[in-house]
């Protein structure tokens, strides 16, 4: 019971850290870091998990600083958004360094998808491939409704930006959340804990690009779906494809720029 409570506290501090850094609350962020550092010495058996989340937050802090600097530059909004997504590499670097310090292997589900494992729902089993395909089609149809209202010139003007944004954002976010973070937390905590922490964290991270807290939490639901697909197929690639489709829909629908 005590161990479970500590894991909840660690996750709560992690979520508060993402939120406070996103809103540039320096004092609150400092308290979050202090709390996690204290837990490092209190819960010695969870040091890798705590430092994993700490390294993420440090990388996210650097990400925020660089984006603040880019925000002062006289460049196009499209370029600023692309640079914002490229700066996610600081988070990847942070969590990879943490793995190296603890001599842990960096695993990110870089495997060929295995579609044989079904997704088990209450009183029902769902074929993972069809779950994935239906999810893509349904989301595509929803975004098509918004895209249909745009003129052809608008779509053409965003083609190159859409290509770069969709690929960079999907690959980097999936490597972070459904790759390294999910696999590490699953190994050193539990599958349920790993799904919840990575999904909620994934949603909250969107506050850094201007999304509201309510919308960010809604995005966490997509994080759960991506995580389930990744775990069932033992591959990150289906979730990357799914994510790319969503990104394309968001760009052409006008939700990004």
Rounded CA separation 52/174 (Å): 17
Could you write out the DSSP letters of every residue in the chain? -HHHHHHHHHHHHHHHHHHHHHTT-HHHHHHHHHHHHHHHHH-GGGHHHHHHHHHHHHHHHHHHHHHHHHHTS---HHHHHHHHHHTTHHHHHHHHHHHHHTT-------S---TTSPEEETTEEE-HHHHHHHHHHHHHHHHHHHHTTS-HHHHHHTHHHHHHHHHHHHHHHHIIIIIIIHHHHHHHS-HHHHHHHHHHHHHHGGGGGT--HHHHHHHHHHHHHHHHHHHHHT-SHHHHHHHHHHHHHHHHHTS--
Rounded CA separation 177/194 (Å): 10
Residues of the chain with pLDDT under 70: 1-2
Radius of gyration of the chain (CA): 19
**Which pLDDT score, from 0 to 100, does residue 2 have?**
64
**Which pLDDT score, from 0 to 100, does residue 15 have?**
98
**Which pLDDT score, from 0 to 100, does residue 1 have?**
54
**Which pLDDT score, from 0 to 100, does residue 20 have?**
97
pTM for the model stands at 0.96
**Which pLDDT score, from 0 to 100, does residue 120 have?**
85
């Amino acid at each position: 019971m005590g161990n479970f409570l500590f894991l909840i506290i660690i996750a709560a501090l992690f979520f508060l850290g993402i939120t406070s850094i996103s809103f540039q609350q320096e004092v609150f962020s400092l308290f979050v870091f202090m709390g996690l550092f204290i837990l490092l010495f209190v819960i010695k058996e969870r040091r890798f998990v705590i430092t994993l989340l700490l390294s993420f937050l440090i990388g996210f802090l650097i990400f925020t600083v660089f984006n603040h600097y880019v925000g002062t530059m006289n460049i196009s909004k499209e370029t600023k958004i692309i640079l914002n997504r490229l700066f996610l590499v600081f988070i990847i670097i942070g969590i990879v360094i943490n793995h190296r310090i603890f001599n842990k292997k960096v695993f990110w589900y870089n495997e060929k998808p295995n579609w044989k494992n079904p997704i088990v729902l209450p009183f029902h089993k769902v074929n993972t491939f069809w779950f994935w395909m239906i999810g893509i089609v349904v989301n595509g149809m929803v975004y098509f409704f918004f895209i249909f209202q745009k003129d052809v010139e608008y779509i053409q003007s965003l083609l190159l930006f859409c290509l770069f944004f969709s690929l960079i954002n999907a690959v980097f976010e999936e490597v972070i959340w459904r790759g390294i973070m999910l696999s590490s937390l699953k190994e050193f905590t539990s599958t349920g804990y790993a799904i919840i922490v990575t999904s909620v964290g994934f949603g909250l991270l969107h506050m850094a690009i201007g999304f509201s807290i309510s919308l960010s939490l809604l995005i966490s639901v997509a994080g759960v779906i991506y995580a389930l697909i990744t775990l069932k197929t033992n591959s990150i690639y289906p979730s990357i494809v799914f994510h790319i489709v969503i990104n394309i829909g968001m760009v052409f629908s006008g939700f990004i720029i």
